[in-house]
Amino acid sequence: MAVTSDYVLPCGRDVEEVWEAIDLSDEHTRSCPHCGAVRESLLVLREATAEMVREEVEPPFDLVSRVMSAVRADVRRSDVVPLPGDGLARISTRAVAAVLRYAADGVDGVRARGCRVVEAPESTGMDPVIEVELSIAITAGQVTHQAYDEVRRRVLAAASARIGVRLARLDLVVSDVLEG
């Protein structure tokens, strides 16, 4: 406790001496008002420290999920497309992909897989335009070419109704066929 060694009390002792002799109060400490006052405050400090040591700190039950969503948020914030308006609203491409995948999943026999979203070159702040590559898995025997049109229709509708951006290009990639 070198920090207190310079702190000499008016009676000649310093705070460190009082601290060392805190449990064996001698004649001087009992009678000296300075040492008494210092001893009082040191006892309060010791009590408070002991209380904090005893206290069991439980991490909040949802800590892991909170940390994970924080990490995801940081990743997603760096990859965004603009939303229509004053140019001060944006949405992460992952969020767009989630909405479009969900829309495609609604078609019978179609399972959305990957979805890549990029901002189109002609996109402006007032009228944002995106290009999407959606890979899907289809169930054999259940899906006809009409299903692709249905996927296209739903994804286009979701882009404007659920997000608010125009979809200039949608590439559908059938990446897998599932057993019916």
Please list the residues that pair with 134 across neighbouring strands.
115, 172
DSSP state of 170: E
- The residue within the footprint of another protein, chosen from 37, 44, 50, 67 (CB under 8 A), is 67
In the complex, minimum distance from the CB of residue 127 to another protein, in angstroms, rounded to a whole number: 11
Among 141, 76, 142, 139, residue whose Cα is nearest residue 112: 139
- The residue within the footprint of another protein, chosen from 80, 156, 168, 170 (CB under 8 A), is 80
- Applying CB under 8 A, which part among 9-17, 29-37, 90-98, 167-175 lies near another protein? 90-98
Q: Is 163 in the site for another protein (CB under 8 A)?
A: yes
Angle of CA points 171, 173, 177, to nearest 5°: 155
Instruction: With residue 176 as reference, give the H or E element that holds it.
Output: strand 166-178
- Applying CB under 8 A, which part among 19-27, 91-99, 117-125, 132-140 lies near another protein? 91-99
In the complex, minimum distance from the CB of residue 102 to another protein, in angstroms, rounded to a whole number: 7
DSSP string, 28-83: HHHH-HHHHHHHHHHHHHHHHHHHHHH---PPPTTHHHHHHHHHHHHHHHTSEEEP
- The residue within the footprint of another protein, chosen from 8, 83, 120, 170 (CB under 8 A), is 83
Spatial neighbors of 31 by CB under 8 A, at least 6 apart, are: none
- Applying CB under 8 A, which part among 11-19, 26-34, 83-91, 145-153 lies near another protein? 83-91
Pick the closer one to another protein by CB: 13 or 76. 76
Instruction: With residue 117 as reference, give the H or E element that holds it.
Output: strand 110-119
In the complex, minimum distance from the CB of residue 162 to another protein, in angstroms, rounded to a whole number: 6
In the complex, the residues that contact another protein under the rule CB under 8 A are: 66-67, 69-74, 76-77, 80, 83-86, 88-92, 94-95, 98-99, 102, 161-165
